[in-house]
Chains A and B, each alone.
Chain A
């Protein structure tokens, strides 16, 4: 009995990738709490009065716990489940839609995020930093919008064609940094960053000045996708839940990525190139071909994420498509790092970050604390995950005999 307990304790205090990730999560939420505390006037006022009496001190503590607790509670109930509503649904059989909406929203948001993050993760595993996933996803959405709204076909043909158009859009944007890196040595970080701005401008241009614009509209808004090109709600339109077949697409992508990285010979070449470019070259792997193919796959997946977002959730494009807080291509970078660039890890981290995003919106509605707190928490978590030794020191973890290091992707500007 005590033997097994000791083993558990040992496991909880010895550094392992999973433990570092969990501890980084705890630290991320601590950072978020500190940000809330230091920026909420009522909490600060309570602490200013703490020296006047024990009661004031107790009040300050309690108010802090209340404010932070309310924020995180709103986040949880907005992203996962509200126990009260859920219990009401269980006991009465009524209101299931309301009870399941938070989970449905999180999954809706997670589906394209999983796809885009796997694209970024495959690039990372090859030693390539694709910061351009957002631009690739936007052009995927634009290309898919042309196919989905201007062509009319039966669903069996139309939906696959629309998804394929999205992939093609992402591939086109991805090829630019891929070819430039392979043939001129241009660093992909700068090129993909700049392309994000180019594509964002291109999106507005297509919405305002091309046939894609909704007829009779002056604003930057596109035609709506034909029903035959939309990803239908998973539980039918009558369910009132937005979660759609995009989730199934994401599942297929996860399976594909696992097979590709673990079982296919091209995936092996990718991973060897990422782990040791010199060894890859020495063993006859064509470095240029690998660079171009990585961007084809990574860009294609980002494009697929864009069209899944469009066909499953928004059904039309506007100027805010994947801009700002909705920029899943940017979130995908942090998601992929948190998931250690592996498909299964990415699924978990996508669910978490999707939950943070959805819950952040609920938190803003319930408590007035801006949803950008979710971005702060996400960035903090990833900073800690990228620095496992710091987490190890903060939590005083023991060194494992062979702790799985995060293999980081990039090394300076060199080629």
Chain B
């Protein structure tokens, strides 16, 4: 194990321990002995597939948050002392979830006899799962491209393209299958443009990516005014229906979050599994990683470097395009600029997840939750302005990309053009 990753693990440990202490003191002890917080677990809309009913859980805020904070700190100390090889991201994800829980418990604390405010755990997780899903699509796209050595900073543009086309096709055909096909195709086309310019013409990948995002945001708001506004029937904004899985939806909390979702969510899970398996267990994955780490060596053993890169960048584009359709399918009507930088946050999740699908998933869950909470904490009457809360996910991203992960090691040939001699 390299010293770099040992240092990184220790850094995460310190951060987690400190976060735990802050939680125990700030959200725990400081909230007083009289405060109580209530949690509920039943989904907001009680459809036919509703899970088993659970009662309201009322806890003393100070003690609950003290316990949560100390548990977080303990996990941090464990990382510091043992410096394990595996499961660092999983521990970080667990600590982040505990932190959000403590934050919510603190936000809804009441001292009166009857609880007025409560946290609906299921509703929070369901709400956050929509954003998390989109981030996972985006960061998987990044994994596919960057493991093969091409930086795809155009994920945001592929989201925009996928969402735009997805909305048009879903509005005209009323079928999200066609919307997904069209959105994936647009994403793949943008991937092809990125691959063509950066592989054939050796353009700077980051610059091409950024300009593609500009192009797509300009084009989408142009088309929005020129096409969607005069023909509103192309942008009706219907949402993808949920496909509940029988029986499994009955599980409290997990049922509605994992098994009562749209087809895009299940597709995302399949993709995560396929990409993690493919990348680390198959010949294809070995080739892709070889191309991303040392293209010259890969070429000498007969791997077609450029071909692998083309395939992966186009595939990555398709995945990001699907992410755009998935976003549109959960948010409704296309509006210019409504992806609000999710593609860039997906990129940060990819980097924080150290270019691994599993790491990217954990990072996406953390980012998805923090985005959702920052959009919605107002409903819990937290005495902080919306604007300040709105900065939080971006500040977390900065903290995570700089302080926490420090000098991560990307695939060695990531972003470096490959030229045959």
Q: Contacts A189-B153, A372-B218, A386-B211: A197 and B391 contacting too (C-beta < 8 A)? A: yes
| Size class of the contact patch on chain B | 35 or more
Q: Contacts A184-B402, A369-B226, A372-B225: A202 and B217 contacting too (C-beta < 8 A)? A: no
Bound together, the chains give a CA A383 to CA B227 distance in angstroms of 25
Question: What residue in chain A is nearest B146 (Cβ atoms)?
Answer: A413
* CB-contacts of B211-237 with A (<8 A): 211-212, 214-215, 217-219, 221-223, 225-227, 230
A interface residue numbers (CB < 8 A to B): 35, 39-41, 129, 131, 176, 180, 184-187, 189-191, 193-195, 197-198, 201-202, 204-205, 208-209, 324, 330, 333-334, 337, 369-370, 372-376, 378-380, 382-383, 386-387, 389-390, 408-415
Q: Contacts A195-B398, A372-B219, A415-B407: A386 and B210 contacting too (C-beta < 8 A)? A: no
Say yes or no for B337: interface residue by CB 8 A criterion. Answer: yes
Partner of B390, one of A129, A201, A369, A410: A201
Say yes or no for B419: interface residue by CB 8 A criterion. Answer: no
Please choose the segment from B16-24, B49-57, B343-351 that sits at the chain A interface, where 4 or more of its residues have CB less than 8 A away. B343-351
**A387:B348 contact, CB within 8 angstroms:** no
**A180:B197 contact, CB within 8 angstroms:** no
Majority secondary structure, A binding face? helix
Instruction: Indicate with 1 or 0, residue by residue over B173-216, a CB within 8 angstroms of chain A CB atoms.
Output: 00000000000000000000000010001111111101110110
**A190:B218 contact, CB within 8 angstroms:** no
**A414:B388 contact, CB within 8 angstroms:** no
Say yes or no for B331: interface residue by CB 8 A criterion. Answer: no
Say yes or no for B395: interface residue by CB 8 A criterion. Answer: yes
**A187:B351 contact, CB within 8 angstroms:** yes
**B351:A205 contact, CB within 8 angstroms:** no
**A35:B219 contact, CB within 8 angstroms:** yes
Partner of B206, one of A129, A373, A376: A129
**B344:A193 contact, CB within 8 angstroms:** yes
Bound together, the chains give a CA A372 to CA B225 distance in angstroms of 9
Say yes or no for B121: interface residue by CB 8 A criterion. Answer: no
Question: What residue in chain B is nearest A386 (Cβ atoms)?
Answer: B203
**B388:A35 contact, CB within 8 angstroms:** no
**B197:A413 contact, CB within 8 angstroms:** no
Q: Contacts A190-B401, A412-B205, A414-B415: A378 and B394 contacting too (C-beta < 8 A)? A: no
Bound together, the chains give a CA A194 to CA B391 distance in angstroms of 9
- Minimum CB–CB distance from B266 to chain A (whole Å) comes to 30
Question: What residue in chain B is nearest A194 (Cβ atoms)?
Answer: B394
**B410:A413 contact, CB within 8 angstroms:** yes
Bound together, the chains give a CA A199 to CA B101 distance in angstroms of 28
Chain A residues with CB under 8 Å of B102's CB are none
**B388:A205 contact, CB within 8 angstroms:** yes
Q: Contacts A190-B351, A191-B401, A324-B337: A201 and B391 contacting too (C-beta < 8 A)? A: yes
Say yes or no for B414: interface residue by CB 8 A criterion. Answer: yes
Q: Contacts A187-B351, A189-B206, A408-B204: A180 and B387 contacting too (C-beta < 8 A)? A: no
